[in-house]
A and B are shown apart, each in its own frame.
Chain A
Amino acid sequence: MPKTFLIDTSRCTACRGCQIACKEWKDFPAVHTKQTGTHQNPPDLGPYNYKLIRFKEYKMKDRVEWLFFPEQCRHCHAPGCKEGADAILPGAIIKDEATGAVLYTDLTKKFTPKQAEDVRAMCPYNIPRWSKDEGKLTKCDMCFDRITNGNVPACVKTCCTGCMNFGERDAMLRLAQERLDKVKKTYPKAQLLDPDDVSVIFLVTESRKLYHDFAERKEQPKTQYADMNRQEFLTAMTKPFKNLLG
């Protein structure tokens, strides 16, 4: 049975324990940041930031809503990135069927920057990031070392309030439904984001588009290939791989 995260944002206090615990478990260096008028920092995911709390604030009719979104890879059931990578170099991106983890291997080092960008573009949630330092594609790996040794991912382990949950898919789906039923009483717009498609299910309290651009699933590639259909896109991507093999 694959694993699933439930990220219940109705419980998130944005303490950023997860954001830091992720870096610490991975032994990632700090990145240079600046204050630009928001608490969200670093501004975006990166090769040393697989987990990031996104902050958005709104003045609603009778109250303020400060929305926290503990962003990370969704570990899609049918990962677009893998589909793209398979067309270039099979094995560069793999999916572990036992856990559902989508893993980027060191073979992504063989991608040209353009190929990496193409693979990135296949992600409906805009997650993968190119690491200049290591010359490879990076993102959350579900703490594969931890979960295959009887532990929960670092972000889940550290979560103070029960926002981050991890376990067998059945159990998480049940928990998601329970939480949703409860949260809906306070937040009628509460919903689960794409629960059938991903291993990382967000429970959000407001319309998903209020959280950030890619809280919404963006199925179509968004780069210069935007006009192509999916098949044309994949065909276009395989060319460089053939060159590589040749």
Chain B
Amino acid sequence: MTQHWIDIKNSNAILIMGSNAAEHHPISFKWVLRAKDMGAKVIHVDPKFSRTSARSDHHVPLRSGTDIAFLGGMLRYILEKNLYFKEYVTEYTNASFILGADYDFKDGLFSGYDPVTRVYDRKKWDFVKDENGVSKRDKTLKDPRCVFQVMKKHYDRYTLDLVSQVTGVSKKNLLLVYDTFGATGKPDRAGTMMYALGWTQHTVGTQNIRLAAMIQLLLGNIGVAGGGINALRGEPNVQGSTDHAVLWDILPGYIPAPLATQATLADYNKSIMPKTSDPMSINWKANQPKYAVSLFKGWFGEAATPANDYGYAWTPKVEPGEQYASMFMFDRLYKKQIKGAFILGHNPAQSMPNSHKIRKSLQNLDWLVMGEVHLTETTDFWRGPGVDPKKINTEVFLLPCCHRGEKDGTTTNSGRWIMWHHKGIEPMGQSKSMGQIEVEIFHAVRDLYKKDGGVFPEPILNLDLDRVYDAEKTARKINGWFTRDAEVNGRKFKKGDQVPSFAFLTDDGSTNSLCWIYTGSYPEAGKNLSKRRDHTQTPMQAKLGLFPNFSFAWPVNRRIIYNRASVDVNGKPFNPDLPVVLWDGSQWVGDVVDGGGPPMALKGGKYPFIMHTEGHAQLFGPGRVDGPLPEHYEPAETPLAKNPFGKQMSNPAIRWIASDMDKFAKNADPLYPIVLTTYSLTEHWCGGSDSRNTKVLLEAEPQQYIEMSHELAKEKGIKNGDVVEVESIRGKTQAVAMVTVRVVPFKIMGKTVHLVGMPFAFGWTTPGVGDATNRLTPTVGDPNTYIPEYKASLVNIRKAAKVTELER
């Protein structure tokens, strides 16, 4: 979230799209309803009418997978009706930047596309630079090659008529949303967008969110109170686990992972240190080498020295352009290229797409180490439905994990608040915390290397990791401390002092930090700010509901990020009633301002979007692999025979996975004419192993269901409560029919398209509840993130001849 939960109350219009907030983030609705109490309009755009829709002013159903068409139409409307916030757009975004001669868009493809590799040459999308190397701009926004005009032309095709036909949303509803949300383009109005997996789980997921962010920038809704683009993070600590990079492609704090081409630390540092020639751009990422060196220092301690590049050589390097996201790992496993696996607190046999392939892949493991609280479809894959355990040669080690209330530590909420939780009781039985388990596994391996030697032992032997996992000490190290006496920014520090903020991290080995964005959360010994429970705030902060003294928000306790964009170039708030920050003539007050330095118009002033090299928010985004402007492509499986927006049917940058188990329905496949979307529900969580095993929750939602319209049910001769067989080209599942007025058929390009929705929480290890919906969904994902397309695939349904999965 660029804002935080409480700030939602400050919105004048709330667009919930790609999220079912009331069901999956129930507390968010406390703040949505408070905004509504104050007159905010709440709009829910979603394929089905849910509990969120029930409490919104309007529910607008759209065909799953057409968000870009819907939002593209909105962007066009905002420009056409002059609803955008001109000052904000001109000063703070790259609208005025001039594009080079190589940029083009034709037939659904941007310039620079190589159809063989399916990769774009992104150099073709560069801006024109002046003689100093600064991007040229036309602040009148009239130059035909400026971003504003190029964008306008790009979305000119997104007419009400076409958008309506592609999305299935009536023109009346389109105008209702466009007008309501477009009204927040005024300086003293704020609109917020709440999204979740409904936007990410598409082959165009990243571009869904980019387009939403572009609209928010045009309306001046980023950085202001009650504005923002808000990922409602899912899993309990998925914000924190992403910050800490339990991922292949980044190191903690969103620093890119080292590549095979970067032989030395100097090579690596060069690659993570963007340069700008514009003195007004803070270009914060130029500091990344300090954070990387502090990280290596944290990992390898005393052994990390300038002579050995602080242990850079000891860290693994990946091949440039190669993909290692889950779906690719499982494909390697399917092809027997992976031999061993650690899976802790994760249930891929239930929650990954194309479950049959995932379950089959697991059989190829020589050994599997699992850490779990309950038995899951993954722990017990070797005796799943249709599997003969005697034929499965995988050795499985299942380690009992304890729950949240049985350990100390922090988690990070969606508003980036890092909060301590205290251990209340001892771990049940012989269970242990996952932290302790990981550390014990490591030390058991290290002991063997110490005793017997082995291949490339240095990183193992030199790792600075205690035998006993201590959450408090680890929290201190995440923040970082001085490894020797040092002077930084004119301040003297002693060895062992905590680093007060990441502005004091260094690239000379004098500091460590396991995640630079968390630096400042533990700024002094004994001062763990994640434990703060203080409600003190200034009247200005209290009006916003900022709570700056409760816990700690990364970065540097900033509660609303990009807050420099909430003021004009002189530091005067656009909305004087709800200032986030303001320049009082000598300093900033309110929230912790982005980047420091005076307002833009003053001497030494800085641009607000400090994480971008150019200092400006990117309406035109050359960093994404699938294009600088979002374009509507159909889902990998689509009920349409052609993409009405252009010749390119699906996202051209997708890397398709080829195996005998990766099958896709044809475009407009008569065998699978129905769109399936999948989701969670309030009473269960994700793959459901925690909630299914909590009996009071299972009582409230006991079995797999499929929500469908009365029209489809009638067509198929299905009655409410019947058991239905749902089939895709990849598999079948059974579900109880929930025939409802909350799902409606769509009229798409003149033909009726039905949509059904199923939760994915029910799995076979809980008897009689049903089994994985993901047996239906395909292994294909967004080419930027490789998050799978769970939200739109094709199926068919029929009344089940025999109930096999739902006897309860």
Interface residues, chain A, with chain B CB atoms under 8 Å away: 11-17, 19-20, 23-24, 29-39, 41-42, 57-59, 63-66, 68, 160-162, 182
Of the listed stretches B429-437, B453-461, B699-707, chain A binds: B699-707
Query: How many whole Å from B727's CB to the nearest CB in chain A?
Result: 20
Please name 10 pairs of A and B residues whose Cβ atoms are closer than 8 Å in the assembled complex, sorted by A: A13-B29, A15-B22, A17-B26, A20-B696, A24-B696, A30-B696, A33-B702, A37-B720, A160-B26, A162-B30
**Do B699 and A64 have beta carbons less than 8 Å apart?**
no
Query: How many whole Å from A206's CB to the nearest CB in chain B?
Result: 12
**Do B741 and A57 have beta carbons less than 8 Å apart?**
yes
For the complex of A and B, the 6 pairs showing the least CB-CB separation, nearest first, are A30-B695, A35-B703, A37-B721, A37-B720, A15-B26, A13-B22
**Do A13 and B720 have beta carbons less than 8 Å apart?**
no
Tell me whether B445 is interfacial, beta carbon within 8 Å: no
**Do B54 and A37 have beta carbons less than 8 Å apart?**
no
Which of chain A's residues has its CB closest to B27's CB? A160
Query: How many whole Å from B28's CB to the nearest CB in chain A?
Result: 9
Query: How many whole Å from B804's CB to the nearest CB in chain A?
Result: 15
Q: Which of B721-779 contact A (CB under 8 A)?
A: 721-722, 736-742
Q: Can you list, as one digit per residue, whether each of B46-57 has a CB less than 8 Å from chain A (1) or not (0)?
A: 000101111100
**Do B49 and A13 have beta carbons less than 8 Å apart?**
no
**What residues on A are CB-neighbors of B262 within 8 Å?**
none
Query: How many whole Å from A24's CB to the nearest CB in chain B?
Result: 7
Given A19-B700, A20-B697, A20-B700; A13-B742 close (CB under 8 Å)? no
Query: How many whole Å from B711's CB to the nearest CB in chain A?
Result: 12
**What residues on B are CB-neighbors of A12 within 8 Å?**
55
Which of chain A's residues has its CB closest to B50's CB? A66
Which of chain A's residues has its CB closest to B55's CB? A13
Tell me whether B683 is interfacial, beta carbon within 8 Å: yes
Which of chain B's residues has its CB closest to A52's CB? B700
Give which listed residue, A16, A33, A64, A182, contacts B53 with CB less than 8 A. A64
Tell me whether B33 is interfacial, beta carbon within 8 Å: yes
* Bound CA–CA A42/B702 (angstroms): 9
**What residues on A are CB-neighbors of B808 within 8 Å?**
32, 34
* Bound CA–CA A24/B699 (angstroms): 13
* Bound CA–CA A59/B742 (angstroms): 8
Q: Can you list, as one digit per residue, whether each of B583-603 has a CB less than 8 Å from chain A (1) or not (0)?
A: 000000000000000000000
The dominant DSSP class at the A interface is loop
Contacts A33-B700, A41-B702 known; list 18 others, CB within 8 Å. A14-B51, A14-B682, A15-B51, A16-B700, A19-B700, A23-B696, A31-B699, A32-B808, A35-B701, A37-B705, A37-B738, A38-B720, A39-B701, A42-B700, A63-B59, A66-B49, A161-B55, A162-B33
* Bound CA–CA A178/B702 (angstroms): 38
**Do A35 and B54 have beta carbons less than 8 Å apart?**
no
* Bound CA–CA A42/B701 (angstroms): 9
* Bound CA–CA A58/B742 (angstroms): 9
Query: How many whole Å from B790's CB to the nearest CB in chain A?
Result: 21
**Do A34 and B700 have beta carbons less than 8 Å apart?**
no
Give which listed residue, B37, B699, B740, contacts A30 with CB less than 8 A. B699
Given A33-B699, A35-B703, A161-B33; A57-B682 close (CB under 8 Å)? no
**Do A66 and B742 have beta carbons less than 8 Å apart?**
yes
Give which listed residue, A31, A36, A64, A182, contacts B742 with CB less than 8 A. A64
**What residues on B are CB-neighbors of A35 within 8 Å?**
701-705, 736, 738, 806
**What residues on A are CB-neighbors of B682 within 8 Å?**
14-16
Output the residue of B33, B52, B697 with the most chain A CB within 10 A: B33
**What residues on B are CB-neighbors of A39 within 8 Å?**
701, 738
**What residues on A are CB-neighbors of B704 within 8 Å?**
35
**What residues on A are CB-neighbors of B59 within 8 Å?**
63-64
Give which listed residue, B30, B697, B698, B739, contacts A161 with CB less than 8 A. B30
**Do A11 and B54 have beta carbons less than 8 Å apart?**
no
**Do B702 and A34 have beta carbons less than 8 Å apart?**
yes
Using C-beta atoms within 8 Å of the partner chain, give the interface range for chain B.
35 or more
**Do B738 and A11 have beta carbons less than 8 Å apart?**
no
Interface residues, chain B, with chain A CB atoms under 8 Å away: 22-23, 26-27, 29-30, 33, 37, 49, 51-55, 59, 682-683, 695-705, 720-722, 736-742, 806, 808
**Do B54 and A66 have beta carbons less than 8 Å apart?**
yes
Give which listed residue, A13, A41, A65, contacts B700 with CB less than 8 A. A41
**Do B49 and A64 have beta carbons less than 8 Å apart?**
yes
* Bound CA–CA A59/B682 (angstroms): 23
**Do A36 and B53 have beta carbons less than 8 Å apart?**
no
Output the residue of A35, A36, A65, A162 with the most chain B CB within 10 A: A35
Give which listed residue, A11, A29, A36, contacts B736 with CB less than 8 A. A36
**What residues on A are CB-neighbors of B736 within 8 Å?**
35-37
Query: How many whole Å from B460's CB to the nearest CB in chain A?
Result: 46
**What residues on B are CB-neighbors of A17 within 8 Å?**
26
**What residues on B are CB-neighbors of A33 within 8 Å?**
698-700, 702
**What residues on A are CB-neighbors of B741 within 8 Å?**
57-59, 64
* Bound CA–CA A29/B738 (angstroms): 27
* Bound CA–CA A35/B37 (angstroms): 35
Output the residue of B697, B699, B705 with the most chain A CB within 10 A: B699
Which of chain A's residues has its CB closest to B740's CB? A57
**What residues on A are CB-neighbors of B720 within 8 Å?**
37-38
**What residues on A are CB-neighbors of B51 within 8 Å?**
13-15, 66, 68
* Bound CA–CA A59/B721 (angstroms): 19
Query: How many whole Å from B725's CB to the nearest CB in chain A?
Result: 15
* Bound CA–CA A57/B707 (angstroms): 13
* Bound CA–CA A127/B738 (angstroms): 27
Given A38-B738, A57-B742, A64-B49; A161-B29 close (CB under 8 Å)? yes
* Bound CA–CA A215/B8 (angstroms): 34
* Bound CA–CA A68/B682 (angstroms): 15
Query: How many whole Å from A45's CB to the nearest CB in chain B?
Result: 13
**Do A42 and B22 have beta carbons less than 8 Å apart?**
no
Query: How many whole Å from A59's CB to the nearest CB in chain B?
Result: 4
Which of chain A's residues has its CB closest to B738's CB? A37
* Bound CA–CA A33/B698 (angstroms): 8
* Bound CA–CA A15/B808 (angstroms): 24
* Bound CA–CA A64/B49 (angstroms): 8
* Bound CA–CA A152/B698 (angstroms): 26
* Bound CA–CA A58/B741 (angstroms): 7
**What residues on A are CB-neighbors of B27 within 8 Å?**
160
* Bound CA–CA A38/B703 (angstroms): 11
**Do B721 and A15 have beta carbons less than 8 Å apart?**
no
**Do B695 and A13 have beta carbons less than 8 Å apart?**
no
* Bound CA–CA A41/B27 (angstroms): 22
**What residues on A are CB-neighbors of B52 within 8 Å?**
13
* Bound CA–CA A24/B697 (angstroms): 11
* Bound CA–CA A12/B700 (angstroms): 17
**What residues on A are CB-neighbors of B54 within 8 Å?**
13-14, 65-66, 68
Output the residue of B29, B37, B737 with the most chain A CB within 10 A: B29
Which of chain A's residues has its CB closest to B710's CB? A59
Output the residue of B682, B683, B696, B740 with the most chain A CB within 10 A: B696
* Bound CA–CA A65/B51 (angstroms): 10
**What residues on A are CB-neighbors of B29 within 8 Å?**
13, 15, 160-161
**What residues on A are CB-neighbors of B705 within 8 Å?**
35, 37
Output the residue of A36, A58, A63 with the most chain B CB within 10 A: A36
Which of chain A's residues has its CB closest to B722's CB? A37
* Bound CA–CA A30/B720 (angstroms): 25
* Bound CA–CA A31/B702 (angstroms): 10
Given A24-B696, A64-B53, A66-B49; A16-B683 close (CB under 8 Å)? yes
**What residues on A are CB-neighbors of B22 within 8 Å?**
13, 15
Which of chain B's residues has its CB closest to A58's CB? B741
Which of chain A's residues has its CB closest to B52's CB? A13
Query: How many whole Å from A10's CB to the nearest CB in chain B?
Result: 8
**What residues on B are CB-neighbors of A68 within 8 Å?**
51, 54
Query: How many whole Å from B35's CB to the nearest CB in chain A?
Result: 12
Which of chain B's residues has its CB closest to A11's CB? B33
